[in-house]
A = this chain, B = another copy of it.
Amino acid sequence: MSTTAATRRVLGIDPGSVRTGFGVIEVTGSRSSYVASGVIQTGKGSFAQRLHIIYTGIAEVIRAHQVSESAIEEVFVSRNIQSALKLGQARGAAICACAGDDLAVHEYSARAIKQALVGSGGADKDQVSYMVRAILSLQGVLREDAADALAVALAHTQHDRLSAQIASNKRRAIP
């Protein structure tokens, strides 16, 4: 599982206090390929314990998959102040796990992510999920949090490198 100097492993994170999605892609030149994705469930402990689960979960993903950089969605809106506080804490825990491993954390607005993947900042979730699966040649069901995490990782590798790749990849099943 060693990576060469020209290969980068990008971790995308979709933080949440109940579920935090993660997705790791490998980038070699203009080619992005799927490495791993999943959802960290924070369980029913105290809020501090749940933040710790996010922190240790993201740290474990970074170690297990030799991640070299990370990307996370900027958040500007939320349903209400309570959910903003919870989401903020989950996001802070995830970012600190990256910072603890000295990974640069890149932030992208939802609009920039949609623009990079679909070509329109107003794209809906289904369009984003479709493009994630198409770009990474994934078959089967991808959970929404994991799809969003892979989307921000892919957005980080820039939109204009992605489109040409869809046709050339072989289809593979989501492990």
Q: Which residues of A pack against B, CB within 8 Å?
A: 46-49, 51-52, 55-56, 75-78, 80-82, 84-93, 95-100, 104-105, 107
Can you offer 15 A-B residue contacts whose CB atoms are under 8 A?
A48-B98, A51-B99, A52-B96, A77-B81, A84-B84, A84-B85, A85-B85, A85-B87, A88-B91, A89-B89, A89-B91, A91-B92, A92-B96, A93-B95, A96-B96
Asked if B86 and A51 make an inter-chain contact with CB atoms under 8 angstroms apart, the answer reads no
Q: Which residues of B contact A85 (CB under 8 A)?
A: 75-76, 78, 84-85, 87-88, 91
Among the listed B46, B77, B82, B90, which residue makes an inter-chain contact with A92, where contact means beta carbons less than 8 Å apart?
B90
Q: Tell whether, in the assembled complex, residue B88 and residue A86 are in contact, meaning their CB atoms are under 8 Å apart.
A: yes
CB within 8 A of A81: which of B49, B81, B92?
B81
Known: A91-B92, A93-B93. 15 other contacts (CB 8 A): A46-B105, A46-B107, A48-B104, A51-B95, A52-B95, A55-B96, A76-B82, A76-B85, A78-B81, A78-B85, A84-B84, A87-B88, A88-B89, A89-B91, A93-B95
